[in-house]
Structure 1
Amino acid sequence: MTTLAPSRPSFAASRLSFAGLLRSEWIKFRSLRSTFWSLVMIVGFAALISFLIVSEAMPASDVALPLAMQQDALAQGITQSVTFSQLIAGVLGVLIVTGEYSTGMIRSTMAAAPRRLGAYAAKILVVAVSIFVVGVIASLVSYLAVLPLLADRGIHVTPLDAVVMLGVLRASAYLALVSVFAVGVGMLLRSTAGGLATVSGLLLVLPIVLMMIPAEWAVNVEANMLTSLGADVLGLSSTVEAGEVLELFAKIAAWPAAAVALGGVVLARRDV
């Protein structure tokens, strides 16, 4: 009498689709305590900094400003907080990756997605979209915070104004790209301390050091640092040409593209 050998389970059928990976990454993203507090800090900083900018840097006036000046003033007033909140977005992007490595959850993630890059892409997409949406929300909350001050400063436009909304979308897109850059750095280094130090150094320390060096090459390098390019985005006026905006964002996107590519190479070649 012969016995049948038990059939081996098929793991191929149990592998997650990309939609499943997105759901998985979204659950992990929203369940982290650091995510909640980081997003709260982005919105809170936005409201506080916008209020300080409008109340201190924009003098009261009985005369309504020209429409273009109103649009630029409001757009910059409610988006300048990105200068500070980009560091929070960077910290969160690093923690989303390195937290999995520190807890060992990354093994479960890669067991469900053995090709690895699908899970990596899902993580990047979840972080980028979430930070972009929070950036838009932060700008709207900032508008509500400064609303009582606007009429006294000759500003009567709202964030629903097309020019102002474009400024909000540009700032939010930049914030999302910073978070993607941080995800790539986190995947490349796999260390919370190393990732946070690298992102903080590139966003804050290195630009300051370069500005202190009296050399042309230092000026050129500093002008193409992520934070300098971000400042250019926040300073764009309503008269800027579309080609200039695209060129600026192409330079900004080069940073997260390089970090994500290097992180992907490390993820594909090293053990988890």
Structure 2
Amino acid sequence: MSTATMNRPAARVSGKGVSFARALHSEWIKFTTLRSTWILLATTIAVSIGIGVLGAWGMGSGIEQLRADGQDPASVGLDPSMIHMMATGGLDFGQLIIGALGVLLIASEYSTGMIRSTMTAVPRRIPALAAKAVVVAVVAAIVGVVSSFATYFASQPVLSQYGLEYGLDVENLVQSILLSGVYLALVALMGLALGSLLRNSAGGIVTLVALLLVLPIVASMLQFDWVKDGVEPFLPSNAGRQLVALQIPEDALTQLQGGLVMAAWAAVLLAAAAVTTKTRDV
């Protein structure tokens, strides 16, 4: 070994050569090579379609029975136009699965220690988190749109038995279906943020379920005006329902407002996750 070689300073690891595109490609490979990813995505689609079609069948059979008994379905709160919402009716359950996928995408790396390799490859850390966010949001958006369109087409043969089939020209229907992708993307980002903050899969999923499912139920049980007007509409899943709603009551959040509220939840959680990712040890 030459003297020049012995005196050469050791190379230092630097994040300057790491581009966001490379980080994104790396996260995409990790995301698509996990069997659990495909299981959860397939389950999300299956559950969303199944719940939507089941809801359409239940409403169709109920309307037919009421008409056979000589009753007006609208008089008992079963307006036939409510069937149009069944295209996105499975989102309430699908969101829990896609949100769990967001949690697992990063929390599982903390539990296995793989996060050290990720952060070594991307020393500045934030691009790694951003890459995960882009991947899970895009996939969730596609799943939301595909499952909602599939639910619509799968429910039409069921509804045709009751003479209740309808076309895509129903007002705001296509817009609602497309926005269902935005809904699931935001839920997935919330899950990713919680997984990063808590660094625990079970804790992240439980917290997400509490935000999306438990808190709205508890809020609906509290008979206080300040809860009904100032808290309940701004919970993430309630705001999300407004995002995909076909008809908006005068005293409710509009589609835009509902989307902004839900986006604010995701943005705040992601900002907190970014801060902790940057400052805490792995």
Band of TM-score, shorter chain: 0.7 to 0.9
Of 232, 243, 249, the match for 1:222: 232
Residue in 2 that maps onto 1:133: 142
Q: Which residue of 90, 94, 107 maps to 1:98?
A: 107
1:188 to 188, 191, 197: 197
Instruction: Decide whether the 8 Å contact of 2:107 with 2:200 is kept in 1.
Output: yes
How many pairs were matched up?
A: 261
1:16 positional shift:
2.6
Matches of 1:12 and 1:27, distance apart in 2: 23
Q: Tell me the residue number matched to 1:261.
A: 271
Partners of 2:34 and 2:183 lie apart in 1 by: 23
Distance 1:231 1:244, change over 3 A: closer
Counterparts of 2:113 and 2:82, CA distance in 1: 47
User: C-alpha distance in 2, partners of 1:37/1:187?
Assistant: 22
Match of 2:44? 42
Give the AA of the match of 2:103. V
Unaligned runs of 5+ in 2: 68-78
CA–CA distance in structure 1, aligned partners of residues 117 and 17 of structure 2 = 12
Please give the residue correspondences for 1:1-272 in structure 2 after superposition, counting only pairs within 5 Å: 3-4=3-4, 5-9=7-11, 11-12=13-14, 15-58=17-60, 59=63, 73-74=83-84, 76-152=85-161, 153-158=163-168, 163-219=172-228, 220-237=230-247, 244-272=254-282
Q: Quick check: 1:15–1:113 contact (8 Å CA) kept in 2?
A: no
SS in 1 for 2:123: coil
Is the alpha carbon distance of 1:114 and 1:47 closer, same or farther for their aligned partners in structure 2, counting shifts above 3 Å?
same
Equivalent position SS for 2:3: coil
Once residues 56 and 206 of structure 2 are traced to their aligned partners in structure 1, the CA distance between those partners, rounded to angstroms, is 32
Q: Which residue of the partner structure matches residue 76 of structure 2?
A: none
* TM-fit CA distance, 1:136: 1.1
Contact 2:243–2:254 (Cα < 8 Å) also in 1: no
Question: Normalized against structure 2, the TM-score is what?
Answer: 0.83
- Measured against aligned partners, the alpha-carbon deviations of 1:22-49 in whole angstroms (never above 9, x if no partner) come to 1111111112222111111111112211
Once residues 196 and 248 of structure 2 are traced to their aligned partners in structure 1, the CA distance between those partners, rounded to angstroms, is 37
Quick one: distance in 2 between partners of 1:70 and 1:116? 51
Which piece of structure 1 moves more, 231-240 or 133-142? Answer: 231-240
For 2:113 and 2:254, locate their aligned partners in 1 and report how far apart those are by CA, in whole Å: 44
CA 1:131–1:105: 2 relative to 1, 3 Å = same
Q: CA deviation at 1:253?
A: 0.6
Q: CA deviation at 1:168?
A: 0.7
1:162 deviation in Å? 8.2
Larger RCO (CA under 8 A, 6+ residues apart): 1
Task: Report how far residue 119 of structure 1 moved.
Answer: 0.8
Q: Partner amino acid for 1:3?
A: T
- On the 8 A contact 1:71/1:163 being kept in 2, the answer is no
| 1:89–1:131 contact (8 Å) kept in structure 2 | yes
Identity of counterpart residues, as a percentage?
Answer: 37
Q: Would you say the 8 A contact 1:50–1:78 is kept in 2? A: yes
- Structure 1 residues not aligned, in runs of 5+: 62-68
Q: In structure 2, do the counterparts of structure 1 residues 45 and 268 end up closer, same or farther at CA, with 3 Å as the change threshold?
A: same
Answer with 80-89 or 226-235: which moved more.
226-235
Distance of 1:248 and 1:206 partners within structure 2: 17
Letter of the structure 2 residue corresponding to residue 264 of structure 1:
A
Q: Are the equivalent residues in 2 in contact too, given 1:163–1:238 (CA < 8 A)?
A: no
